[in-house]
Amino acid sequence: MNSDSVAGAPRSAESQPARRSLLRGALTGAAALGAGLTVGASPATAAPKSRPRPATPGEALRELAAGNARWRTFREKHPDETRTVRQELVTGQHPFALVLGCIDSRVPPELVFDQGLGDLMTVRSAGEVLDEAVLGSVAYGVLELDIPLVLVLGHQSCGAVRAAVEAEESGERLPAHIQYIADQISPVIDHTKEGDARIDATIDANVRLVSSRLAAEPDLAAKVASGDLAIVGARYELTNQLVHRIA
């Protein structure tokens, strides 16, 4: 990310022991049920930190920025893929950032940020659209694994945004569940612009909308207020592979 993208960020909030114990108990039970399907599997809860990890929102942002710089200059390190790391991750995980991105095949977060196993938790939906499953996934990463950064990552030429804009302009309904995605994006369609400029502006507006909705979630808002969490909107440019912050 460039210098105006991922600067300054907050730090961590209060836990909710009862609810967290309940969730961890449920996860442990689920792991026990699935033990017969895998060899040597363990619950994917937080693990001891044997490797140095970004521990604050600011550190996490800087690490993502550095990784994106490597990616777009073809100097990737492909970190955290060794035998040792794979063995460490058997007992748990401690990702330092959660990336909520689009399903677009051209924007895989682990590649875009040159990160490896156990580094990022990724949640992907068309147009970064929120529903209960997405919200629950983000909440799990933040509240259960103490991830200090949520990055909402939009991208240039987003097909979901284009579909929403074109559906509104034509008045036609989209098939099956795709209309739900369009309905979530339509409130921020930028009517001050036309054509491709409207789509491009709406991509940014949608990132801001999703970021603000996440920041309004009470549990996440408490973590932001305490300085334990930053929720940041950003955008990936397909033309030059740069990730930059969207204010």
Amino acid at 84: T
Question: 């609810």: which residue's tokens?
Answer: 19
Neighbours of 75 (CB within 10 A): 9
In our burial notation (b when 16+ CB lie closer than 10 A, e otherwise), range 111-142 reads ebbbbbbbbbbbbbbbbbbbeeebbebbbbbb
158 is in an annotated binding site: yes
Distance CA 2, CA 234 (A): 11
- Residue 94 marked ligand-binding: no
Is 155 marked as a binding-site residue? yes
Q: How far apart are CA 51 and CA 5, in angstroms?
A: 26
- The secondary structure element, H or E, covering residue 37 is none
User: Which pair of structure tokens corresponds to residue 113?
Assistant: 């940020």
Residue 177 annotated in ligand binding: no
State the binding site: 102, 104, 155, 158
- Binding residues for Zn(2+), by number, are 102, 104, 155, 158
